[in-house]
Amino acid sequence: MIDLKLLQKDFDSISKKLMRKSVDEKLLEKVKIKFEELKEAKANFETLQAAQNAMSKEFGMLKRAGMVHEIPKLKAKVDENKIRIADALEIQRLRQEELEALAMAIPNIPDEDVPDGEDENDNIEIKKVLTPRKFSFTPKEHWELAEQNGWIDFERGVKLATSRFSVSFGMGARLERALINFMLDFNRQRGFDEVSVPALVNRKALEGTGQLPKFEDDLYKIQDQELFLIPTAEVPVTNLYQDEILSVDELPKRMTAYTSCFRKEAGAAGRDTRGMIRQHQFHKVELVSISTPGESNIIFDDMVTCASDLLKALELPHRLVTLCTGDLGFSAAKTIDLEVWLPGQNTYREISSVSNTRDFQARRAKIRFKNGKKNELVHTLNGSSLAVGRTLVAIMENFQNADGSIDIPKVLHPYLGM
């Protein structure tokens, strides 16, 4: 959640920064009104409390002055004021809740070095890594290769569930498992501790990382329960330390996890509905870090490098791009996407997204660390390492042969008994 004290202290300046993310001006105006209402409620409570303290002192004065007969009148006033104080405190509580409810819909402030822009077309390329292979034939798209080799069956996925589900067979299934194990091993060797987390989380966890309340329509909810299927391992792994105060000696925490992920993709109808690019259920290996504010930039760079080196090990050409403000996620202060080259589509497509959320998620999830005598908010970071389905797509398209057969990257051979 955005720092409300900072927003109130410098409303115009922070609002301008938020407008870079196209935050609704009406929402900010409502927040400004709530600030005033809360300020008024607090002032009213403090006035009543001051009057109560003054009347309490009068009891002793009346006794010393021998005016005991006035005490019942004063007691009646005190009792009446107590009721007013209780009412004022309740109003103050309600105003605070209303303000925080509005604040939950405000995204994170983008870093100063994030470029302005409206959408993905305004993202800035940082660099390309590895040179795409030149084919002596017209490369096929992954769904053709998947069907030809019997790796993925899209029709049976629809039969078992609905559109945008699939079933992997034979080498396709084995390759998915090999990729998961390879990614986890690779990340562990880079200093990320492996964790295994639930695929279901409660509302508080999703609020903590920023998926709720804004993106509820994209989530699969369990009927009659406040439980949701996770959209990414970022949610349970980050929330492992929800409402905790960590020792500075425990930081940074660097974790990696494999999970299945579930998204309705409610706003993505008509985009990439064929094949494996945008599925309702997909496998992903995630990186999550929790750090002190002073370390988060270094860890962010390390996470980007880790994901890029993973793609290099798989011999997959890719590029790094900085997301512009219009393409930046709700919780992110800064994001670098890794886009893998897909020769069948003749374009680069996102395969990993690494974000620094600064203290935005930590404030929502109440994750702090002890810095001397003071408790401070941590910084949280997350990144795909990698989306397994999209990695499989990239392998199929980049390692295809003229006859439609597919070679396997050498680093995966030990995982496949080759």
Show which residues are catalytic. Answer: 263, 278, 350, 353, 390
Q: Please list the residues that pair with 342 across neighbouring strands.
A: 347
Residue-wise burial string across 49-78, b where 16 or more C-beta atoms lie within 10 A, e elsewhere:
eeeeeeeeebeeebeeeeeeeeeeebeeee
Helix (H) or strand (E) holding 329: none
Q: Is 353 labelled a binding residue?
A: yes
Rounded-to-integer distance, Cα 17 and Cα 222, Å: 37
H helices of 104-141, in order, are: none
Phi-psi domain of 324 (left: phi exceeds 0; alpha: psi -120 through 50; beta: other): beta
Residue 264 assigned as binding residue: yes
Is 233 annotated among the ligand-binding residues?
yes
Is 350 annotated in a binding site? The answer is yes
Task: Tell me 221's DSSP state.
Answer: B
Vertex 398, ends 188 and 268: CA angle to 5°?
80
Q: Residue 70, annotated ligand binder? A: no
Vertex 194: Cα angle to 183 and 329 (nearest 5): 70
Q: Is 263 annotated as a binding residue?
A: yes
Is 168 annotated to bind a ligand? Reply is: no
Residue 163 marked as a ligand binder: no
Asked if residue 382 belongs to a known ligand binding site, the reply is: yes
β partners of residue 350? 339
Q: How many residues does the chain have?
A: 418
405 annotated to a ligand binding site: no
What separation in angstroms does the CA of 68 have from each of 53, 74, 82, 255? 19, 10, 21, 70
Cite the DSSP H helix spans in 150-295: 154-160, 170-189, 203-209, 234-238
Q: Could you tell me which residues come within 8 angstroms of residue 3 by beta carbon, excluding any fewer than 6 positions away?
A: 359, 363
* Cα-Cα-Cα-Cα dihedral sign, residues 234, 240, 246, 252: negative
Residue 351 marked as a ligand binder: yes
Answer for the pair 29, 11: CB distance below 8 angstroms, yes or no.
Answer: no
Query: 129 near 307, Cβ under 8 Å?
Result: no
CB 287 within 8 A of CB 354: yes
Strand order in the sheet with 281-291: 124-129, 318-322, 334-342, 347-356, 379-387, 281-291, 253-262, 193-194
Bind-site residues for L-serine:
232-234, 263, 286, 382, 384
Bind-site residues for ATP:
263-265, 350-353
Bind-site residues:
232-234, 263-265, 286, 350-353, 382, 384
